[in-house]
Structure 1
């Protein structure tokens, strides 16, 4: 019974981690789209470069999410 509870706890923690990853992934994606749109509209290189940094952060976060989801040590 105790082992079952430990497994359920680890599954719950993994589930919550995946939800947090998805939330941050969506937030960074929206921020990158908004920043690039504002950078093009205002012709501002700083805002545009921030948008590209958000794209890089989104890509790295997606790779972390994929690695966390496919981890064999769950």
Structure 2
């Protein structure tokens, strides 16, 4: 998954939120400041639900769109 973080840290964080709950910057190999900026973007874009513990439909759509584009680019 380290290739994914180079391409899109927002996707990587959203995927971890979906699978494990709250990720930690060390868990995904990001600088703490970059991680905080990505989390702020995720929150401001509405990718998490109101509680901040789960993903909104927009967050799920982001994951699905990214995975679809990645799959399409490989084929």
TM class by shorter chain equals 0.3 to 0.5
Pick the structure with more helix per residue: 1
Larger radius of gyration: 1
- Normalising by structure 1, we get a TM-score of 0.38
Structure of higher RCO (CA pairs closer than 8 Å, 6+ residues apart): 1
